[in-house]
Structure 1
Amino acid sequence: MQLGIVSPVVTANPGAHSAWEEGAGIAELTRIAETADRLGFHHLTCSEHVAVPVAVAEQRGATYWDPLATLGYLAARTERIRLATQVLVLGYHHPLELAKRYGTLDLVSGGRVVLGLGVGSLEEEFELLGATFEGRGAIADDALAALRAALGRRTPSYAGSHFRFEGMVVEPHAVQEHLPLWIGGRTPRSLRRAVTLGDGWVPFGLGLDALTSMLAGVDLPEGFEVVLSAGRAADALGDPEGTAERIRRVRAAGATLVSTAVQAESADHYCEQLEALASIGKEIG
């Protein structure tokens, strides 16, 4: 069972981050990324919000490191671990913008980018950026199709309901022949979108019973990734049996990859937890 990590430091969601992260920065994050890379973890993550209203920040948090800058730095400090956006909001970007920026990241990282993408739900942020909120689902579907047509191509072309381009050069571009697209969401529609237009599904806020039921109703393509959270932050040192059991339950629910948050009191403790968590992952197999 391959494990990824939900990166600490880069977000500060209330109730989901530890006190040590408040004073941490790029040095601590880099140490953790290098440790996860050495131990063979599958991926690390970075999410996207440009600006969060003050009232919303009380529930969602206000800290969101920019994923392109963050993952670009970590690409230079790691060798194998995949760099996953979890997630970019499709409505905030033109597909060719994503193809160019994250295609460049794919190039400089040696083909390690995973694009986690979502429709978005924060209307105030859409308005701030001049993005269309109403009908955003249909726009996102067309953006996904356009992005797939553009990634890894020097002269992409596409004609859809909302996006159209040809005769344009995108250089550099992604080096992966098929850069993975993981679709975020918590609805049956998001799962259908992922199966139809993506390569994986990254749900959030759903219990295992609901996930199992939703996945049972869909014929998943070969190689399709189901990236599920292991639940509360893992304490692999203090509770190895409980940690292993939660990972097993998530796998039984249909996970092909498990994303884990890690319980820690410092960056050093986080790295020690990663050592123990990697051993648990190997034992589960």
Structure 2
Amino acid sequence: MRIGIVSPVVTKVPGVHSTWERSAGIEELGRIAEVADSLGFHHLTCSEHVAVPTDIAEQRGGTYWDPLATFGYLAARTTRIRLATRVLVVGYHHPLEIAKRYGTLDQVSGGRLTLGLGIGSLREEFELLGAQFDGRGARADDAIAALRAALSQPEPEYHGEHYDFSGFLVDPHAVQPRVPLWIGGRTPRSLRRALSYGDGWVPFGIPTDRLAEMVTAANPPAGFEIVLPAGSTLDPIGSPEAGERVLRRARDAGATLVGTGITATSTDHYCEQLAALRQLAEKIDGPWECCDE
């Protein structure tokens, strides 16, 4: 079981983000990324929202850093840790737009891109961007299939119900032969979509017991990632026993990866918590050798 970090600073959700994050910026995030990289954590995350209605922002938050710009910077400050969109809303983009922009990021980072993809649920944002909200599930299936055909290909070709292209050059493109696609969601359909089109599933808002049942029933193939949330921010220094219970529960539910936030009071404290979290994880599953092992 490997551990990824739900990046601080880049999102500010009411009741979730810490006070120190309000004044933190890219330098603080870069330092945290360097420490997470050196300690062997699997990935950092960044979510996508273009514009959140002010009334909805009271619950969801209104601060969402752009993943492409954020990861471009972090790629230059790290060497091993993967850069995972969690999630990119496929309906906001043409598949070739994603293939080009994030394929360039894969080049820049030396092949460390993981594309976490979501269907999206904020109608107001869809309408603002001129994207179709109704029928977005079927369009997303086609978009993900098109993206799979396009990534890593200089001359991609795809012929589907909603997307059809050939005869175009996309350069630069991803350097990984197969960029990992993780599909987000909270329904059995999202898991089926992940098994059909992706390399992993990133569920949210599902009780752990139910997650375990869904994973067992799906019987995912070897190598398929089950990226489960810790369910709460961890405090490895202050409450190591609670953190160990959370990690063991996620592992027992079928997690191959756990994505977790960390409680901290400052950038320094956050980095200290990262070191303690690695020690906690090694206590459960043995020594880490590399972030990709």
- The two structures have a TM-score, normalised by structure 1, of 0.99
Paired amino acid for 2:5: I
Corresponding residue of 1:200: 200
1:76 alignment partner, SS class? helix
Corresponding residue of 1:129: 129
* C-alpha distance in 1 between matches for 2:222 and 2:177: 17
* C-alpha distance in 1 between matches for 2:95 and 2:221: 24
* C-alpha distance in 2 between matches for 1:20 and 1:193: 38
Corresponding residue of 1:56: 56
Which structure 2 residues correspond to residues 111-122 of structure 1 after superposition, within 5 A?
111-122=111-122
Corresponding residue of 2:245: 245
> Could you list the per-position Cα deviations for residues 23-66 of structure 1 after superposition, in whole angstroms to 9, with x for gaps in the alignment?
00001101110000000000000000000001110010000000
Corresponding residue of 2:211: 211
Which structure 2 residues correspond to residues 159-198 of structure 1 after superposition, within 5 A?
159-198=159-198
Which structure 2 residues correspond to residues 15-26 of structure 1 after superposition, within 5 A?
15-26=15-26
Corresponding residue of 2:266: 266
* C-alpha distance in 1 between matches for 2:282 and 2:96: 39
* C-alpha distance in 2 between matches for 1:227 and 1:31: 25
2:73 alignment partner, SS class? helix
* C-alpha distance in 2 between matches for 1:284 and 1:151: 36
2:86 alignment partner, SS class? strand
* C-alpha distance in 2 between matches for 1:75 and 1:98: 18
* C-alpha distance in 2 between matches for 1:231 and 1:197: 26
Corresponding residue of 1:2: 2
Corresponding residue of 2:257: 257
Deviation of residue 219 (structure 1)? 2.4
Instruction: Give every structure 1 segment of 4 or more consecutive aligned residues whose post-TM-superposition deviation is greater than 3 Å.
Output: none
Corresponding residue of 1:85: 85
Corresponding residue of 2:69: 69
* C-alpha distance in 2 between matches for 1:172 and 1:221: 31
Deviation of residue 213 (structure 1)? 1.3
Runs of 5+ consecutive residues of structure 2 not aligned to the other structure:
286-293
1:171 alignment partner, SS class? coil
Paired amino acid for 2:261: A
Paired amino acid for 1:113: L
* C-alpha distance in 2 between matches for 1:64 and 1:177: 30
2:12 alignment partner, SS class? coil
Q: State whether structure 2 residue 40 is matched by structure 1 residue 40.
A: yes
Corresponding residue of 2:106: 106
Count of residues in correspondence between the two structures: 285
Deviation of residue 196 (structure 1)? 0.5
* C-alpha distance in 2 between matches for 1:153 and 1:219: 31
> Could you list the per-position Cα deviations for residues 168-215 of structure 1 after superposition, in whole angstroms to 9, with x for gaps in the alignment?
000000000110000000000000000000000001111101101111
Corresponding residue of 2:291: none
Q: State whether structure 2 residue 231 is matched by structure 1 residue 231.
A: yes
Q: CA RMSD for the aligned pairs?
A: 0.6
Paired amino acid for 1:171: D
Q: State whether structure 2 residue 122 is matched by structure 1 residue 94.
A: no
Paired amino acid for 1:104: T
> Could you list the per-position Cα deviations for residues 245-273 of structure 1 after superposition, in whole angstroms to 9, with x for gaps in the alignment?
11011000010001110000001100000
1:184 alignment partner, SS class? strand
Q: Percent identity?
A: 68
Corresponding residue of 1:157: 157
1:258 alignment partner, SS class? strand
Q: State whether structure 2 residue 122 is matched by structure 1 residue 140.
A: no
1:217 alignment partner, SS class? helix
* C-alpha distance in 2 between matches for 1:102 and 1:284: 35
* C-alpha distance in 1 between matches for 2:53 and 2:167: 39
- The two structures have a TM-score, normalised by structure 2, of 0.96
* C-alpha distance in 2 between matches for 1:4 and 1:215: 20
